[in-house]
Structure 1
Amino acid sequence: MRWSLALAQVVAERMRWSLALAQVVAVLVMWIGGASGVFPINVCPCSNKSLCEPLPATHQFQVEVLVFDNGGMDWKHYDWSKITVIVAMQIIDDELLCHAHEKGVRIVLKEVIQHIHLTNKAERSLWIRQLMKTARIQFLDGVNLEPRNYEKKYKEVTQLIRQATEVFHHEIPGSQVSLMVPWTPTCLHERCQHYAIMSKSCDFLFVKSYGIHLQMWDECFAKANAPYEQTLSGLSAYISLGVDPRKLVMGIPWFGHDYTCKKFFEPGRCEILKSPFKGAPCSSQVASNIPYKLIMEKLSKSLTGRYWDDNYQSPYFVYKEGSSYHEVWYDDPESLSLKATIMKKLKLRGIGAMFGNNLNHSFNPTAAMQTEDMWNSLCPIRRKWRA
């Protein structure tokens, strides 16, 4: 038994505690310990054992509302009447699991697809089985997968997501498998059909309708994180490729971009440093991501107060720190409510927020009102239907 624990500790240190690998270590420790009769496997942490059952396939919603969670205890203050799925970025707390299932909310793992999973079939199969076992041990409802740098691996991503969906649906009936994709299809024309195939190979695609100005081809100026027209055109492009709109969830940001101005001319004219990205001369990567709760703090002390850009349908403001001017572009209840109309206009499956932790869950009356408005901007009501 001591040997088993020592082995698990050494493996864990070398894996640097990434979410996926840390959870694999947890599976190994439980398997080794369970064989010796010391560590119980599949012991329900909830007072009601039924809460450890994954939600069945018949448990469906007219509108899916995903909320990504970065860990901690902020989830205790979420508006659970709006949520259908929690996507856990960190190791899942037992109390969160029990609470989510009590509220009829699915809770799924967030995992990144590595290059080796696309190029080595054996590694791919092993990784998928490990994910599934981790989900079963933690009584979860599925997995959300995100490929990185896969522009030349569309076929391999499609094969992986199909295999993952088959394994999860078979081993955990009612489980949900989703794939994260860019704000607009990024592919050569002859390869674009893979997005339609991907969508049919999983439960839905989560479209990251933010970070839209990673490539700036014109002026190197601060720009909106999720402008309305590009959000609409990006989602429409997927539908034009043959993706069923009921297979699309629109991802929206509860964070903004804080740009340091190389030169500041006037509000809305903040020149930024050149930072080439995928052929474009400039990129929003030079900006810092800033959570909504911090945006509200900076807005109250800003030089300009809230401005509104009619072209981007997004708010922004300017503040000064030392001798540097900063321009912050973000989304608030007004801009998010506009984007929520896209969901209805295109008849999408739902909407998803990055991240629930980015709201201010303190007892400050002003913060409480701001947070409530952000929740309400997602979807006015959550209506459940059963097949």
Structure 2
Amino acid sequence: MKLRRTKTPSASSSSEAQTSLRARHILQAVSAFVVLAATVGAPASIGHHPIPLAPAISGVPPIMDVFANEPIHLPPATTTPIAAPATLQRARMAKREVFAFAPYWNLDVQHTFDLRHITTLAYFGVDVAKNGSIQHAGNGWVGYQSQDLADLISRAHKAGIRVVLTIKAFNQSTIHAVTADAATRGTLVQNAIDAVRAKNFDGVNIDFEGLGNKDRAAFTSLARTLADGLHAADPAWQVTLDSYVSSASDSADGFFDVGAIAPTIDSFFIMGYDMYQRSTASPNAPLPSYGSAIAAYLRAVPASKIVLGAPFYGYDWPTQDNSLHSPATGTPTPVTYEEIVAAGHPRYWDSNASVPWTAYQSGGHWHEIYYDDASSLALKARFANAAHLRGMGVWALGMNGSDAGLVAALLGTMTQIVGGPAGPAIASVPAPSSSPTPTPHPASAPKQTSAPAPKPSSSPAPKPSPTPTTMASPEKEAVMSDTKPIITFHADLKTDVPPDALYAVLADPNTHVIWAGKEAPREDFRLLTIDAPAGPAVVGSTFSSSGSNGKKGNKVSHDRSIVVEAVPGKRFGFDTEASMERKHKEAWRAHFEHRYTIEPTGSGATITYDSKVYPQNYRPYWLFPTMRPMIRALVRTYQRKHMQNLARLAQNARV
């Protein structure tokens, strides 16, 4: 629209008018995003996602039988692996762990493993016999004795990477026999020490995947005895233990007593996968399912003793149609990331679970695959970093082919997250074809709710083909790279309100539409809606929200967030994937990191807000370096007013 002018303004007045107009535009644009600082996450109960599937009667899902009964052929070792460098003797765990499993069935391609970023490599693995010996038979033992393993250990040691030996037992009767008798436990300790020394390993990963609580106390004794014995044999040896994602929540009903085991081991490897539902096509490792589970672990275990495991594989479901979470028409088949990429199907994004998925037809029947890629793994790693966990882990090398990006994503430093369309247009159910529906390999036994399932170490996905390809994408993807934030924000406020009272309001999502919405000083800096149940948010809680740009009823920001830090009375933080609408232009997408800190100050407290912004598709002009001081000043002013509202609401709640 053209503006009518009665006279030609001077250069200075024109400049001032343009600056004022631009300032208003900038405020309207940035406020829709910064208003997210006022929102919090609502609990997304882990109960919405079932505990991991229970194993088959033997303790091993049927898919494992394919590998167990198919001998591998590897040349026996003619050299001894080189010993670890002296630098690995200084500490058992890296400051920030990236823990990766190398299974025996992928040893023949171990030369393709990209070991960059990995701090601990676990060879999976050798089997434990009922008498406490290491079984000198089977695929695991063939791999243990192979030149390929010797070469992998030597290559890892040259790179300063620890290599540990996984000792495993999945059969319940074997687990009972080994754990119940003190003499048998002692025998296993000595055999584990001998097996570690023979191949210059740097410790042991314990993978006993039992059911129920019958052997709970006995296994706790075994785990403690193993850890004490191995540490006595060599104080530099690392001892880790694989546990279910729900183990800390199992109370006395589960197999693992994590609180009793924690003091003696160096870390738990939490098997954060196989959490899909049975009736619908669903994610293998949905991000929100970690929240309550990790919160339970943190109540029993120091964060420095937790490594969160993630998958390099997914599940292929036969489905009714190609809609998101379509009803399943059969059991899912495990499929590696490399196989998924090689198939070239379109990539979609499940925003609720923060994972990619795809849909395709085969023989006239629909299939859906839910899996993890660099973006979803990076979000999981951010979650682990924000919770101050020891690090991330993965099951398993070789499933990612030669894509080094997946391992790099485990660092949690990748800032450009690729989302994507929610899915395809829903198609009608295809008519039955003359060819039968493909029958997938069974992925698990019928679900049992008494215990969680073993990780895919006991149900490995099919071995990937060696040829990597690039996944087809229906839209232009943002370039994923490790970048610095384009801008940071800071604001603080000293109040007379004690920390616990402030936190109680901050952690209740429904209060935010009051202190950052109805009571906000400007319409163009206001929270409009939040979709969240009542109650204090916990780590892993997710929520959606919208913000205003000053036009009444016009919701220009549409955002999804996950809570990554929730320490009552002290800290609260969440990450947001934001999208701001722009008239006749591409929506601006960005990643926000919001952090609140509450510190006692006399009889009250000081609340501090810090935020980082990472643009995902382009850099708007109002975030150019020359504009940032003004933007920071605006945000600081209005964020302080929001916090004043928060403090007043908290004070009123105490009366």
**TM-score normalised over the length of structure 2:** 0.45
Aligned counterpart, 2:305: 247
Question: Among residues 74, 77, 91, which one is paired with 1:58 in the alignment?
Answer: 91
- 1:326 paired to 2:367: yes
* Aligned equivalents of 1:76, 1:360: Cα separation in 2: 11
Give the match for residue 148 of structure 1.
209
Q: Which of residues 354, 378, 382 is equivalent to 2:410? A: 378
> Which range moved further: 129-138 or 145-154?
145-154
- Name whichever structure is richer in helix by fraction: 1
Q: CA deviation at 1:148?
A: 2.0
Q: How does 1:264-275 map to 2 (within 5 A)?
A: 264=321, 266-273=322-329
Distance 2:288 2:410 in 1: 18
Match of 1:209 in 2: 272
Instruction: Say if 1:249 and 1:348, in contact at 8 Å, map to a contact too.
Output: yes
1:273 Cα deviation after fit: 4.5
Q: Counterpart amino acid of 1:128?
A: V
C-alpha offsets along residues 106-136 of structure 1, whole Å, 9 cap, x if unaligned? Answer: 1111122333212233222212221211111
- For 1:335, the equivalent position in structure 2 comes to 376
Q: Which residue of 2 aligns with 1:281?
A: none
Cα distance between partner residues in 2 of 1:226 and 1:340:
13
Aligned CA distance change for structure 1 residues 170 and 227 (closer, same or farther; 3 Å): same
Q: State the Cα distance separating 1:52 from its structure 2 match.
A: 8.1
CA distance in 1, matches of 2:92, 2:353: 37
Alignment partner for residue 120 of structure 1, among 172, 175, 181?
181
Are 2:307 and 1:307 aligned?
Answer: no
Of 389, 403, 414, which residue of structure 2 is paired with 1:348?
Answer: 389
Deviations 1:78-113 (A, max 9, x none): 333301111111434211121111111111111223
Distance 1:165 1:323 in 2: 54
The separation in 1 between residues aligned to 2:253 and 2:318, in whole angstroms, is 38
Percent identical residues: 24
- Corresponding position of 1:288: 333
Structure number with greater Rg is 2
Letter in 1 for 2:166: K
Change (3 A) 1:238 1:50: closer
Deviation per CA, 1:166-198, whole angstroms, max 9, x where unpaired? 111111331111111111226653568931121
Q: Given the superposition, is the C-alpha separation of residues 236 and 379 from structure 1 closer, same or farther in structure 2, using an over 3 Å criterion?
A: same
- Looking at structure 2, the residues matched to 186 and 272 of structure 1 have their Cα atoms a distance apart, in angstroms, of 30
Distance in 1 between residues matched to 2:355 and 2:83, nearest whole Å: 44
Aligned length: 312
AA aligned to 1:334 is S
Task: Tell whether the 8 Å contact from 1:248 to 1:350 is kept in structure 2 after alignment.
Answer: yes
Is this contact kept in 2: 1:124–1:160, CA < 8 A?
Answer: yes
Residue 155 (structure 2) aligned to one of 99, 120, 130: 99
SS, match of residue 357 in structure 1: coil
Q: Measured at CA, do residues 122 and 251 of structure 1 come closer, stay the same or move farther in structure 2, by a change above 3 Å?
A: same
| 2:248–2:293 Cα contact (<8 Å) kept | no
What is the alpha-carbon root mean square deviation over aligned residues? 2.8
SS at structure 1 position matched to 2:280 = coil
| Counterpart AA for 2:94 | F
Counterpart Cα distance in 1 of 2:396 and 2:244? 17
Cα deviation, 1:354-379, whole Å, max 9, x if unaligned, reads 11111222xxxxxxxxx132122111
Q: CA deviation at 1:51?
A: 4.4
* Counterparts in 2 of 1:118 and 1:273: CA distance versus 1, 3 Å: farther
* 1:78 partnered with 2:136: no
Alpha-carbon contact 2:282-2:325 (below 8 Å) kept: no
For residue 183 of structure 1, the aligned residue among 214, 221, 245 is 245
Q: Is the 8 A contact 1:222 1:272 kept in 2?
A: yes
| 2:260 maps to amino acid | I
Gap regions ≥5 residues in structure 2: 1-66, 69-75, 125-139, 170-174, 414-655
| Partner of residue 199, structure 1 | 262
CA distance in 2, matches of 1:73, 1:269: 36
SS of the residue 2:273 aligns to: coil
CA contact (8 A) 1:178 1:202 kept: yes
Give the secondary structure class of the aligned counterpart of 1:315: strand
5+ residue gaps, structure 1, are 1-16, 19-25, 27-42, 275-285, 362-370, 382-387
Q: Distance in 1 between matches of 2:349 and 2:85?
A: 46
Residue 150 of structure 1: how far off its partner (Å)? 3.4
Which SS does the other structure have where 1:312 is aligned? coil
1:274-326 Cα offsets, whole Å, 9 max, x none, are 7xxxxxxxxxxx3111111001012x1x3xx1111111111111122213221
Aligned to 2:293: 234
Secondary structure in structure 1 of the residue aligned to 2:326 = strand
Judge conservation of contact 1:118–1:124 (CA < 8 Å) in 2: yes
Q: Which one is further off, 135-144 or 187-196?
A: 187-196
Out of 289-298 and 65-74, give the one that drifted further: 65-74
Query: d(CA) in 2 for partners of 1:108 and 1:190?
Result: 30
SS of corresponding position for 1:356: coil
8 Å Cα contact 1:224-1:312 kept in structure 2: yes
Report SS of the residue matched to 1:334.
helix
Report the more deviating stretch, 109-118 or 314-323: 109-118
Would the alpha carbon gap of residues 107 and 99 (structure 1) be closer, same or farther in structure 2, given more than 3 Å must change? same
Q: Retained in 1: the 8 A contact 2:98–2:392?
A: yes
Distance (whole Å) between structure 2 residues aligned to residue 119 and residue 187 of structure 1? 24
Residue number in structure 2 paired with 1:6: none
Amino acid paired to 1:349 = R
TM-score, normalised relative to structure 1:
0.74
Q: How many angstroms apart in 1 are the aligned matches of 2:196 and 2:186?
A: 15
* Distance across 2 between alignment mates of 1:267 and 1:373: 29
